[in-house]
Amino acid sequence: MSDEYRMEPAGDAFIVIDPWGERLVDVFPTEEAAKEEVERCKREDAMFETAEQLVHIAIETHMQKFGIDRETAQYWIHSAMGG
């Protein structure tokens, strides 16, 4: 299985397939529109991965600073985020 997004022709349109092999939200009328969707998906993936790393670092730092367990640190980080 590939770890990249890919485009496939679908009649006179194009579909974008995610790295897990599932069809994405829409069918695109042009190859250019499909390419733009692939780039948007890649940016969103990068933003998610970066945010996930930052939260992990915050939790680890909170655990060390206050000598608390992961669940407690997650609670406080989550609370501080407004959630």
**pLDDT tens digit sequence for 19-71:** 888 767 689 999 999 999 999 999 999 999 999 999 999 999 999 999 999 99
User: What element of type H or E holds 24?
Assistant: strand 23-28
Sequence spans of domains, the chain: 6-80
pTM of the model: 0.78
Contacts 24+ apart (CB under 8 A), 71-77: none
User: What element of type H or E holds 14?
Assistant: strand 13-17
> What pLDDT does residue 44 have?
95
Work out the number of other CB atoms within 10 angstroms of the CB of residue 70: 11
